[in-house]
Amino acid sequence: MQKNEIFNVKNMTRLALIAAMYVAMTLAVPALSFSAIQCRFSEILVLLCFYRKDYSAALILGCLIANLFSPLGWYDLVFGVAATVIAVVPMYYVKNVFIAALLPVISNGVIVGIELTIAFGDPVWINMSAVAVGELAVMTIGAVIFKTVFEKNAPLMRLIGSTRNAPKTTF
């Protein structure tokens, strides 16, 4: 991807829309987005980083903005955003969307699990497990959607601006 392609109006608009969608989807269901058992449906959007690496900036920004509204305050700004950074930055370099989906499961399970232990004092393994299970459910749904719908539809792949060719193999 060329530098001039990243900063063109169409791409900047695409990134801004993704960041806004992440915020809106997170804040739409705060009970699931900010509780001990998390199931952020907005996390499906992080799989866009598998198809185009500059989505990582949009999703990190979206996470930061959404976490400004978290009842955990600065904990979520530090830990939540760190978990997102660790998940989305390497995602583009993974070869399989299902393996890529494991990155946020692991990073959020560990980092947000630690955050919840610091904030509430519950056992760390319980918090890590609860966050990882919620994240796994969301990421599995997302990976299946991207694999079975997006990768089989060239117009949708163009819509998301994918820089990755759709695999030739089937699900």
Residue 47 sits in a domain whose CATH number is 1.10.1760
The answer to whether the CB of 73 falls within 8 A of the CB of 80 is no
100, part of any domain:
yes
Give the pLDDT confidence score for residue 166 in this predicted structure: 54
Interacting residues of 139 by C-beta distance below 8 A, sequence separation 6+ = 43, 44, 46, 47, 101, 102, 104, 105
How many Å apart are CA 111 and CA 71, to the nearest integer? 17
* pTM for this prediction: 0.90
For residue 171, pLDDT beyond 50: no
85, part of any domain:
yes
Per residue, what are the HEC states of 3-67? HHHHCCHHHHHHHHHHHHHHHHHHHHCHHHHCCCCCCCHHHHHHHHHHHCCCHHHHHHHHHHHHH
For residue 169, pLDDT beyond 50: no
Interacting residues of 124 by C-beta distance below 8 A, sequence separation 6+ = 113, 114, 117
For residue 168, pLDDT beyond 60: no
Enter the tokens of residue 78.
Answer: 């530090």
41, part of any domain:
yes
Instruction: Please name which of 51, 59, 109, 114 lies closest in space to residue 84, comparing C-alpha atoms.
Output: 59
Instruction: Please name which of 155, 90, 76 lies closest in space to residue 119, comparing C-alpha atoms.
Output: 76
Interacting residues of 16 by C-beta distance below 8 A, sequence separation 6+ = 58
pLDDT in tens, 47-100: 999 999 999 999 999 999 999 999 999 999 999 999 999 999 999 999 999 999
68, part of any domain:
yes
Interacting residues of 19 by C-beta distance below 8 A, sequence separation 6+ = 58, 59, 61, 62, 65
Domain residue limits at 96: 3-159
55, part of any domain:
yes
168, part of any domain:
no
For residue 1, pLDDT beyond 70: no
Q: Domain total for the chain?
A: 1
169, part of any domain:
no
